[in-house]
Amino acid sequence: MEKSIFITATNTDVGKTYACEKFINFYAKKGLKVGYFKPVETGVIELPLDGSKMLNLVKKLNPFFDVSIKDVVPYQFELPAAPFVAKKDKKIDLDFLLEKKQELEKKCDILIIEGAGGLMVPIEKEFFIIDLIKLFKAKAKLITPSKLGCINDTLLSIKALEDKEIEFDWYINLFLDKDSFEKVSLPFYKEYFKELKYLHEL
């Protein structure tokens, strides 16, 4: 079994934190000690909202995961933008993030890592979220929405992961345009893919 799972998505506001919650509970029910890591969170005023919510959940399920919010969300920026923009003149140390990931892995059976935005969100000028997944040697879980336009975003994201030779599964988060999804997008998905996975069914 994978040691690290990286939750990514076709874009922002697609449901990565919700997906983290689903996977954390999924693995905990299997009797595994689960951990959580969000390398960068933007839009932070006092505490990182996503990181704090998931850390509280993990600590409830895995008391051995005795770490602080600064351990699980080491880079916190106020501006709600891509990390490259939000960090301003600060450098994000990739070696430090890799070390932090390895430290957290020692405290659990499986580490759930939450990305920021979509795959091509920049962390540094020439380094993107997809590159972080590759650096971490993690298996990706791609979350795609059910809204109009999801086919294009899903196929582009899948191609990007395949081009980088990153192992992945993908899940539909059935919430936006939920009522029209069955008519508008589902027919193509059924024809194109052998199997469809829904996040709510985890």
Name the binding residues for Mg(2+).
Answer: 17, 50, 114
Q: Which of 38, 87, 100, 101 is catalytic?
A: 38
Dihedral over alpha carbons 169, 97, 126, 142 (to 10 degrees): 10
Sequence-ordered strand ranges (E) for the chain: 4-9, 34-37, 40-42, 75-77, 110-114, 122-124, 127-128, 139-145, 168-173
Note if 38 is an active site residue.
yes
Cβ contact 37:112 at 8 Å: yes
Check residue 185 and report its DSSP letter. Answer: T
Binding residues for ATP: 13-18, 50, 114-117
Q: Which residue type occupies 64? A: F
Binding-site entries for substrate: 42
Catalytic residues: 38
